[in-house]
Structure 1
Amino acid sequence: MTTYLSTGPPRALAHRGLAVGAPENTMMAFIAAVDAGATFLETDAHATADGVAVLAHDPALDRVAGRDVVIEETLWKDLAEIDLGQDEHVPGLREALLALPDARWNIDLKSDAAVVPAVRAVVEARAVDRVLLTSFSERRRRQAQQLLPEVATGASQRIVVQALAAQRLGLHGGLARILEPVAALQVPRRAKGVEIISERSVAAFQRAGVEVHVWTINDPREMQELLDLGVDGIVTDRVDLALPLLGGR
């Protein structure tokens, strides 16, 4: 296993950087998060038409730039010229890793096309020990792990569903086997009205060998509640509010 989670929890993961006064998933937002004290940055990866891993949540730029531009249909040189606001642009993953060499990155692989370019960027930036690759897709997670066996990965949707079932049935051995390939279980507090996070479930997942990170939490009171339940990480848009709470832990 890498040293990605070698520092002690609890930890705050800056969701798309700190986009208060900065466009999300831009170098301005990531630098703002680091300046606020964040050491863990959460982001998303797509790939351009010419196979460059870039940091953006959506497959297109209509929401963030008001442009009908599909990332996978656009060359990197053209994408890099599009203004997202405040003269910020879609960052390349390799460039972002190199620009903030002390940060640890949680990277959500948003498309099948992003897997190989993202792995290549991580290798070229010599950042294997400071990234966690995750995806809702188990196929993508497994492909990334096969390409880069030493990298830390987060639980896919399939693993999360299996782990929740095993935990509720009290199948502790089965839970450990399900979670063996991953370093972290990253989940919402509840889904479809069902509570996922409780003191009991957190303890069971941790005994099975993974950290538990909850997304996306922006209310300090809820952050405090989750920390009291024993979670290892808070994924938040407001890392500036989360860090003071973690400091007391």
Structure 2
Amino acid sequence: MKILGHRGLPRLYPENTMKSFLAALSYGADGLETDVRLTADGIPVLIHDADLLRLAGEDVEVGELKFKELKDFNVGGEPIPTLEEFLSAIPPGKWINLEIKEPGAGEVTVEFALSHYDGQLIFSSFEHQLINELKRKYPNAKFGYLFDERHENLTLDEVRDLFREHTFSAHLPIEFKILDSKRFSEMCNLVKSLNLKLVLWTVNEPALISDIKELVDFVITDDVRLFL
């Protein structure tokens, strides 16, 4: 089971900052999960929210700012890193899960990451159509589907169809196990029957997966120290 820092180590440092990422690795994390969006001038940057309200106190959209304008803002005193800065700073050989937050960031993220990082790259998104398109264009890359309440009406057959070709992983929220244990179990069993990787997010209580550890390939957590 691989342990990935969810946006780094946000229990100690501001999320999706280089300080947070490097802290998670310093505790022995196998890799990192982060979020990619584009600025108005097409620079991939690492930030979860579409706007800066929660993180920087400004009600402005990331996609409406050019990168030089985004640099005027910070998250807890730390700059918002670019994808280039991130990949340049992370040691080779780590597992990096890049969650693509918007369709426009898809090809830019995949193209850049594949050519700039020597390690294991997983590209995931809640935008399933985007993943379908990227899988066709990059059949040798690793792609995963993220699931949440937006996909609760999908049948198992529809999920199976999503996984049909060039799929590496399925990413399920740990809350799913609590809210609908039967459906969660069905999804996990489907994933494993297709020899895909099972990724659980955001697992902040190890006891929640004590009974299914043998099924889990990746845990994404806010505090990697809980598992290391």
- TM-score normalised by L of structure 2: 0.86
Match of 1:109 in 2: 100
Aligned-partner residue type, residue 225 of structure 2: D
1:149 offset after TM fit, Å? 2.8
Query: Is 1:183 paired with 2:174?
Result: no
Query: Does the 8 A contact of 2:145 with 2:170 survive in 1?
Result: yes
Match of 2:145 in 1: 155
- Cα deviation digits, residues 147-197 of structure 1 (max 9, x gap): 433210002549x76986249xxxxxx948834331111112427932243
Cα distance in 2 between the residues matched to 1:192 and 1:226: 13
1:63 offset after TM fit, Å? 0.4
Aligned-partner residue type, residue 81 of structure 1: D
The root-mean-square deviation of aligned C-alpha atoms, in Å, is 2.7
Match of 2:110 in 1: 119
Query: Is 1:82 paired with 2:73?
Result: yes
Query: Does the 8 A contact of 1:223 with 1:234 survive in 2?
Result: no
SS at match of 1:132: strand
- TM-score normalised by L of structure 1: 0.79
Cα distance in 1 between the residues matched to 2:155 and 2:213: 20
1:37 offset after TM fit, Å? 0.4
Match of 2:86 in 1: 96
Q: 1:57 aligns with which of 48, 71, 77?
A: 48
> Cα gap change, 1:217/1:123 in structure 2, threshold over 3 Å: closer, same or farther?
closer
Match of 1:5 in 2: none
SS at match of 1:154: strand
> Cα gap change, 1:202/1:142 in structure 2, threshold over 3 Å: closer, same or farther?
closer
Number of residues of Structure 1 aligned to a counterpart in Structure 2: 223
Cα distance in 1 between the residues matched to 2:140 and 2:163: 18
Q: 1:36 aligns with which of 12, 16, 27?
A: 27
> Cα gap change, 1:120/1:202 in structure 2, threshold over 3 Å: closer, same or farther?
closer
1:23 offset after TM fit, Å? 0.5
Consecutive unaligned residues of structure 1, counting only runs of 5 or more, are 1-9, 168-173, 244-249
Consecutive unaligned residues of structure 2, counting only runs of 5 or more, are none
Cα distance in 1 between the residues matched to 2:88 and 2:154: 35
Query: Does the 8 A contact of 2:144 with 2:167 survive in 1?
Result: yes
Cα distance in 2 between the residues matched to 1:99 and 1:106: 15
> Cα gap change, 1:203/1:142 in structure 2, threshold over 3 Å: closer, same or farther?
closer
Q: Matches of residues 207-218 of structure 1 in structure 2 within 5 Å?
A: 207-218=193-204
Match of 1:194 in 2: 180
SS at match of 1:119: helix
Match of 2:225 in 1: 240
Aligned-partner residue type, residue 65 of structure 1: A
The percent of aligned pairs where both chains have the same amino acid is: 30
Cα distance in 2 between the residues matched to 1:47 and 1:106: 17
1:85 offset after TM fit, Å? 1.6
> Cα gap change, 1:108/1:144 in structure 2, threshold over 3 Å: closer, same or farther?
same
Cα distance in 2 between the residues matched to 1:164 and 1:154: 18
- Cα deviation digits, residues 39-62 of structure 1 (max 9, x gap): 221111100001011111101111
Match of 1:20 in 2: 11
Cα distance in 1 between the residues matched to 2:87 and 2:146: 23
Query: Does the 8 A contact of 1:176 with 1:209 survive in 2?
Result: no
Q: Which has the higher strand share?
A: 2
Cα distance in 1 between the residues matched to 2:34 and 2:162: 28
- Cα deviation digits, residues 184-232 of structure 1 (max 9, x gap): 111124279322433x75344223120111111101221323315x222
Aligned-partner residue type, residue 184 of structure 1: S
